[in-house]
Each structure stands twice: as structure tokens, then as C-alpha cells.
């Protein structure tokens, strides 16, 4: 059984469920942020936001302006306002629209869901949790979030922010990333979920985890639900498996051009995390020894810190390999490309005039 410190009755959220729910909702009504996806009950718009927000910060999804103008979310919704519009697009078009958000499998999952909605539901977004959960690439959290936020269906949701809030509220001393720990967090989320306005309740829990109950700097003195919290050392919770250490790796690539104003690019093969994306061709280090270094840059991806060295090469020095194609420079802006490669290619092209 998971270790849960026995709470004082006055601080137990479960013993004071209505008071906890009301306090949380009242605070959110005053301080909750007005994100674009909170200003709508359109399920497709909410699904897009939920998929984008997986492993990506709100600021990145929104862009430079808090109202989302000019950001990834607004641009993507302008291109694909309905499931049918996305279902009819090609994967290359969608990957290009997703560029800059990373984790491109999410875009392919969203594409598959759009096709299923168009094919199996005649383009109408399903209304029940079980139907949403049955869409390809949609897990229990995402299905619950859409059902809750779009239809106000009483579905508990647990993301990283919500899990952190509950681990501290109940002073949960077990790891939350185990089957038992995860089950306990979801149980608390379900038990504290109100039947009335679960949309507000779930949004408030997520907001609380993003603000007062943040990972690195919890502000317990001003937390709106501190009277229900049993945690004495919030910075020590939640308990998780130790983070994987960053691995440093080197990559070598060629910036190959020809006399026709074309650049050689390589398309990521099926099964690769960036499947379908175009990038600067990688080579073994030995294949670049006789070439001049044009650019050295770094980027991070998951647990890797990559140093990328790119060497100048001309068509008569270059043997193209599998999945490699010559592209006119003026067409590059239309191709889906990982952000590190896009930035490097723009720098290289500008340096040669």
C-alpha cells in the first residue's frame, strides 16, 4: 500500500471536499489566465491545444503574446480549423505547420485522430469520453481533458501539474511514476472532482500547479488552498525516479550545394522520431575529414545535448545517399524541417550570399 501520512481532519481535502472545491473555484475565477483554449468549448480546438501542450510549455504554444496572436496555436488553428480540414491535408503540410513544436509524433497522432473523426463520425467530434478515448493516439488524460473542457463531463484529469498538487496536498511520500503511485493520484483526482462545473475545477488544478504549486518555487504562503495541504516540505515532492543524465553526442553533416542553386537534404526515414522531416544530411566523421568546417552549433533533444558540425561540400564532392534529394533554395521554406536544421541552414545560406 502507498505511504500516505494520516491527515489532520481540518486539513484533509476529502473530509472538507465542498470547501476545497469552492475555495479552488473562487480563486480560479479571480486569477485564472485567459488562454485561447479556455475561451472556447469547441472540442477540436481543445484537442489541438492539449496535444500541443504535451511536453511543450504554454509560452511556446502561445508565442510572444499571451493572447496567442502570432503563436503556434493560433497559426495552426487558422490552417486546420476543423478535423476534416486536417484530415484532407498531407503529412508534409502538417509537419510543416507543426514546425518549432518538436515531438512530431504528436502531429501524426493528431492527423490520425482527424482522419478517424472524418471517417467514422462524419466530421463531427464525438461527445462521449469512451468515443474520444477510442480515437487513435488519444490517451486517458487527453480524452478526459476534452470531455471535461468541451462538454463539462465529470472526468478527472491528471497531468504533471495536477499530480504535483495532489502529492503535496496529501503529503504523498511514494513515487508517483509507479503503477501504484499513479493509481493513487488518479483516485484522489476522481474523489475530489465535483459533478458541477468540472471544467472549472480541472482548469483550476492545472493553473495551481503552474503557479503557486510550481515545481521549483512553490509559494505556500499565498497558496489559495494552503489550509487543505498537509505537506511540510513541498520542494521534496513529488517523489519520482531520478532524472536521466544528459548525454553529450556529436553529429557531423554536410552543406552540399550545386551550380543550379540547389541544396542536398535528407528525409528522415520511417520509424525515426522526426519521420517525414527534411534535414541537413548527416555523415560519419571520417566522411568529413577533407571538408572545410562551415558551422558549429548545438541543440538539445530529450536527454541529449548535441554538437552539430556542418562541412561545406559541392555536388562534385558529394555522393547522395538513401532518402536524399536536391532542393532549390527558394523551395526550402515550404519543407518541414527540425528547428535546429532550419536555423543552421538559414545561417549557412546567408553566409554564402
What kind and span of H or E run contains 307? strand 304-314
pLDDT at 1: 47
Spatial CA neighbour of 47 closest among 152, 143, 158? 143
pLDDT at 7: 47
For CATH 1.10.340.30, the residue range(s) in the chain are: 17-236
> Is 85 buried (19+), middle (13-18) or exposed (0-12) by CB count in 10 A?
middle
pLDDT at 9: 59
For CATH 3.90.79.10, the residue range(s) in the chain are: 247-351
What are the cell numbers at 85?
A: 480540414
Contact 276, 95 (CB under 8 A): yes
Right CATH for 17-236 from 3.40.50.1110, 3.30.470.10, 1.10.340.30, 1.10.599.10 = 1.10.340.30
Catalytic site residue from 50, 66, 88, 153: 50
What SS3 class is residue 275? coil
- Give me the architecture of the 247-351 domain, per CATH: Alpha-Beta Complex (3.90)
pLDDT at 332: 95
Q: What is the pTM of this model?
A: 0.88
Write the DSSP symbol of residue 244.
P
> Is 212 buried (19+), middle (13-18) or exposed (0-12) by CB count in 10 A?
buried
Spatial CA neighbour of 332 closest among 340, 342, 318, 319? 342
Q: Residues near 1 by Cβ (< 8 Å), separated by ≥ 6?
A: none
Q: Is 275 a catalytic residue?
A: no
Helices 198-210, 160-169: crossing angle, 10 deg rounding: 80
Q: Which residues of the chain have pLDDT under 70?
A: 1-10, 64-70, 353
Amino acid at each position: 500500500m502507498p505511504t500516505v501520512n494520516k491527515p489532520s481532519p481540518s486539513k484533509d481535502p476529502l473530509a472538507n471536499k465542498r470547501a476545497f472545491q469552492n475555495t479552488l473555484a473562487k480563486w480560479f475565477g479571480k486569477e485564472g489566465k485567459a488562454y485561447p483554449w479556455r475561451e472556447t468549448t469547441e472540442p477540436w480546438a481543445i484537442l489541438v491545444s492539449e496535444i500541443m501542450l504535451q511536453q511543450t510549455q504554454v509560452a511556446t504554444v502561445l508565442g510572444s503574446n499571451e493572447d496567442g496572436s502570432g503563436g503556434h496555436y493560433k497559426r495552426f488553428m487558422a490552417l486546420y480549423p476543423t478535423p476534416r480540414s486536417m484530415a484532407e491535408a498531407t503529412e508534409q503540410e502538417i509537419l510543416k505547420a507543426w514546425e518549432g513544436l518538436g515531438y512530431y509524433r504528436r502531429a501524426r497522432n493528431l492527423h490520425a485522430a482527424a482522419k478517424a473523426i472524418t471517417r467514422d463520425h462524419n466530421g463531427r467530434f464525438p461527445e462521449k469520453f469512451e468515443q474520444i478515448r477510442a480515437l487513435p493516439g488519444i490517451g486517458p488524460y487527453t480524452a478526459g481533458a476534452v470531455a471535461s473542457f468541451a462538454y463539462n463531463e465529470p472526468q478527472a484529469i491528471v497531468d504533471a501539474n495536477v499530480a504535483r498538487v495532489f502529492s503535496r496536498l496529501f503529503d504523498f511520500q511514494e513515487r508517483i511514476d509507479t503503477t501504484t503511485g499513479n493509481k493513487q493520484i488518479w483516485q484522489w483526482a476522481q474523489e475530489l472532482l465535483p459533478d458541477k462545473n468540472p471544467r472549472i475545477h480541472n482548469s483550476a488544478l492545472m493553473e495551481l500547479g503552474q503557479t503557486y504549486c510550481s515545481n521549483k518555487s512553490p509559494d505556500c504562503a499565498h497558496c489559495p488552498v494552503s489550509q487543505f495541504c498537509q505537506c511540510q516540505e513541498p520542494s521534496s515532492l513529488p517523489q519520482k525516479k531520478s532524472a536521466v543524465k544528459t548525454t553529450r553526442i556529436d553529429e557531423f553533416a554536410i552543406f552540399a550545394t550545386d551550380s543550379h542553386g540547389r541544396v542536398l537534404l535528407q528525409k528522415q526515414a520511417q520509424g525515426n522520431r522526426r519521420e517525414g522531416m527534411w534535414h541537413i544530411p548527416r555523415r560519419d566523421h571520417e566522411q568529413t575529414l577533407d571538408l572545410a568546417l562551415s558551422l558549429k552549433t548545438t541543440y538539445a533533444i530529450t536527454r541529449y545535448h548535441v554538437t552539430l558540425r556542418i562541412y561545406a561540400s559541392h555536388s562534385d564532392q558529394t555522393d547522395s545517399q538513401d532518402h536524399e534529394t536536391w532542393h532549390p533554395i527558394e523551395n526550402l521554406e515550404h519543407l518541414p524541417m527540425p528547428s535546429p536544421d532550419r536555423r543552421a541552414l538559414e545561417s549557412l545560406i546567408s553566409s554564402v550570399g
